[in-house]
Amino acid sequence: MAAKKQVEKTKEKKVKPVYPVSLSGIIWKIATLGLVDAVVLFMIMVMVAQERITESVVAAIVAGIINWIYLRRGGLPAKYLAPGVLFLIVFQVYVLVFSGYTAFTNYGSAHNGDQNLAIQTIKNAAYRVVDGGEDFVVVPGTDNKDGKPALLLTSNVDNKVYIGKDGQQKIEVPEGKFTLSANCADPYAEDTTTCAHAAKTAVGFTPVKISDLTPYQIRKYYSLRVVIDPKDDTLGIKTADLAIASEIQATLSFDEKTKFFTALEDDENGKFVKGDVFKPAENGYYHVDGKIKNAHLDAGWRVEVGLKNFVTIFTDEQLRAPLFKVIIWTFVFAFATVGSTFLVGMAIAFLFNHEKLKGKRFYRSIMILPYAFPAFLSAYVWVGLLNKEHGFVNTVLLGQPADGDNNIGWLTEEGPARWAVLLVNLWLGFPYMFLIVTGALQSIPGELTEAARIDGASPWQSFRLIKLPLLLVSIAPLLISSFAFNFNNFTIIYLLTKGGPNDSGVTDYDVGGTDILITFVYKIAFSGTGQNYGLASAFSILIFLVIGTLSLISFRRTRTLEDIN
């Protein structure tokens, strides 16, 4: 074993190219690495300050690996791959893994964090402002003694100034130890010229600008509660907007030990009564007594739900009909787009692949305009052109009256909308195909077609038997990529029709006549009331599997990957 390794090592040494080392190279390397390390160090310090230990350890390890890659001799491939791979891991691999995991959870607008975040959210929201209670003008800042978040409060009742900190009673700031701002002490004062003014800053207190605060720091201020009566922890002073603080009465009490909530008052909608105990249930909500059939509190947390999302996709009656329709249309759309753009592009390429033709450059310049013009802008313009009532296509090209009731609803009726989407996509896509077919044609040796001509082949035979097969071999990978791209061509569908016209009333899901899978999934995840990331992620994984498998098979069949070896 050892001997074998030895042999391998010497063999490797012989093969390995030995590159000379230059002084300027070393200087560059050290300078860049030093810069990277300094940035990482700074990031770690920030993370440690926010008690994010795991993240800082990961950052330190990554920095260590990067230093190792560039400081050791050899390992050249890693040196060239590392920068791209780093971004790839953070923004693509992570996204894949995250989507993969999310597919097995109930992650959505109602379940968007862990249980502690849900508890925090419930606590922050479970109070009501005491009627007729004292209000305070707020200046957020920190206490100079311990650097903790503090609020500078000016009462609207007696204009007295206090400093309030979380879990402590407010402390009055004596006259002369604070300076006044232009704001009134009474936030509801009508006459702002004669009112008593609120404090701006005080001795022992450093105000902060709200725009300088991170979301993390703002959350700290929102959860801050100043104690009013040490014996009654349901009362307090709280701010919800960092401008005004009010006396509040909690509506739920939380037990730190058991992590249960108890209702202190009857629910105004009658869902639960005073004394009900909310316990965490396995569906990621606080339910009364932990039973799912009982009422639950609004904020939930993310829990793993196993294959539930996938089961929904395959068994939900509401989903079956629209999903089937969407899948069929997705394939039709992708095939029709690739087919039509390729045919038109190829036809034009052959049309212009003629030596004696003059003005080729002129034609080409005009024809690639749709490709050069930003697609999102073109999409909007087509929306205007295809407008039912006044669109240029209807009123001028088709001679229909403006505002005519019988005009074709290019974007509002399912049949025409599908044709419209395909025609616009043809417009967007044919220049690309024209360019790549032209490129591929130029790389076909002239001798081949010349020989065919001498052997008596007709132009059509020479096209069908020689040019087309050679063309297909060389641009097949691009056609496959184009198929994969159009299979998920979110932009054009979403900007043109938003997937509509909607099949309203047929199903609970938001789905329309031109929805392809990707726009359908987008709506599940982002639009409407019940944003369901878990279900959307399950869909994403399935789509990725389908399109990945299709592409892999086609790449294999066109044998384009074989030259990688």
Partner 1 sequence: MADIAAKIPNFKTNVRRRSFLKWLFTTGWRHVLGLAICVYAIFPILYILSTSLYPNNDINNTTTLFADVSWDNYDALLANEDGNRPFLTWYANTVIIGLLTSVGSVFLSALAAYSFSRLRFRGRRGGLMSLILMQMFPSILGLVAIFSLMSDIGQVFPQLGLNSQLGLVMVYMGGALGGGTYLMYGFFNTVPKEIDEAAKIDGASHARIFFTITLRLVAPVLAVQMLLSYIGVTSDYVLASILLSDPEKLTLATGLQTLINDPYSKDWSMFTAGAILSALPTVIIFLILQRYITSGLTAGATKG
- Binding to partner 1 (CB under 8 A) within 447-476 occurs at 474-475
Distance of closest approach, residue 489 Cβ to partner 1, in angstroms: 9
Question: Is 35 a binder of partner 1 (CB under 8 A)?
Answer: no
* Of 422, 438, 427, nearest in space to 373 by CA: 427
Give the total residue count for the chain: 565
Distance CA 149, CA 139 (A): 11
Residues 412-431 that bind partner 1 (CB under 8 A): 427, 431
Interface mask toward partner 1 for 208-247; x: CB under 8 A? ------xxx-------------------------------
Q: Which stretch binds partner 1 (CB under 8 A): 20-28, 148-156, 191-199, 222-230?
A: 20-28
Residue-wise burial string across 61-95, b where 16 or more C-beta atoms lie within 10 A, e elsewhere: eebeebeeebeeeeeeeeeeeeeeeeeeeeeeeee
CB 534 within 8 A of CB 102: yes
* Of 272, 234, 270, 226, nearest in space to 251 by CA: 234
Q: Which residue has the tokens 């240029």?
A: 392
| One residue of 203, 376, 459, 464 binding partner 1 per CB under 8 A | 376
Distance of closest approach, residue 361 Cβ to partner 1, in angstroms: 8
Alpha helix (H) residue ranges in 50-188: 53-71, 76-88, 94-102, 115-125
Q: Which is nearer to partner 1, 157 or 561 (CB)?
A: 561
Question: Is 482 a binder of partner 1 (CB under 8 A)?
Answer: no
| One residue of 175, 443, 446, 454 binding partner 1 per CB under 8 A | 443
Question: Is 7 a binder of partner 1 (CB under 8 A)?
Answer: no
The residues facing 137 across adjacent strands are 154, 244
Dihedral of CA atoms 77, 80, 81, 85 in degrees, nearest 10, equals 160
Residues 378-397 that bind partner 1 (CB under 8 A): 378, 380-382, 384-385, 387, 389-392, 395-396
Q: Which is nearer to partner 1, 163 or 536 (CB)?
A: 536
Q: Which stretch binds partner 1 (CB under 8 A): 260-268, 270-278, 449-457, 514-522?
A: 514-522
Question: Is 563 a binder of partner 1 (CB under 8 A)?
Answer: yes
Q: Which stretch binds partner 1 (CB under 8 A): 4-12, 262-270, 285-293, 361-369?
A: 361-369
CB neighbour class for 278 (10 Å; exposed up to 12, middle 13-18, buried from 19):
buried
Work out whether strand 135-143 and strand 127-129 pair parallel, antiparallel, or are unpaired.
Answer: unpaired
Question: Is 327 a binder of partner 1 (CB under 8 A)?
Answer: no
Considering only CA atoms, give the Rg of the chain. Answer: 34
For 156, phi and psi rounded to 5 degrees? -90, -5
Q: Which is nearer to partner 1, 331 or 363 (CB)?
A: 363
Tokens read off for 399: 């001679």
Question: Is 88 a binder of partner 1 (CB under 8 A)?
Answer: yes
CA 468 to each of CA 81, 449, 472: distance values in angstroms, whole numbers, following the listed order: 37, 11, 6
Residue 231 in 3-state DSSP?
coil
Distance CA 335, CA 310 (A): 27
| One residue of 324, 335, 419, 526 binding partner 1 per CB under 8 A | 526
Q: Which is nearer to partner 1, 98 or 169 (CB)?
A: 98
Distance CA 248, CA 155 (A): 15
Distance of closest approach, residue 134 Cβ to partner 1, in angstroms: 33
Q: Which stretch binds partner 1 (CB under 8 A): 114-122, 141-149, 408-416, 439-447?
A: 439-447
Distance of closest approach, residue 380 Cβ to partner 1, in angstroms: 7
Number of residues this chain uses to bind partner 1 (CB under 8 A): 116
Distance of closest approach, residue 353 Cβ to partner 1, in angstroms: 10
Question: Is 47 a binder of partner 1 (CB under 8 A)?
Answer: yes
Question: Is 560 a binder of partner 1 (CB under 8 A)?
Answer: yes
Beta-strand ranges (E) seen in 156-284 are 161-165, 171-172, 178-184, 197-202, 205-207, 235-239, 244-250, 252-255, 260-263, 277-280
| One residue of 372, 445, 454, 460 binding partner 1 per CB under 8 A | 372
Question: Is 410 a binder of partner 1 (CB under 8 A)?
Answer: no
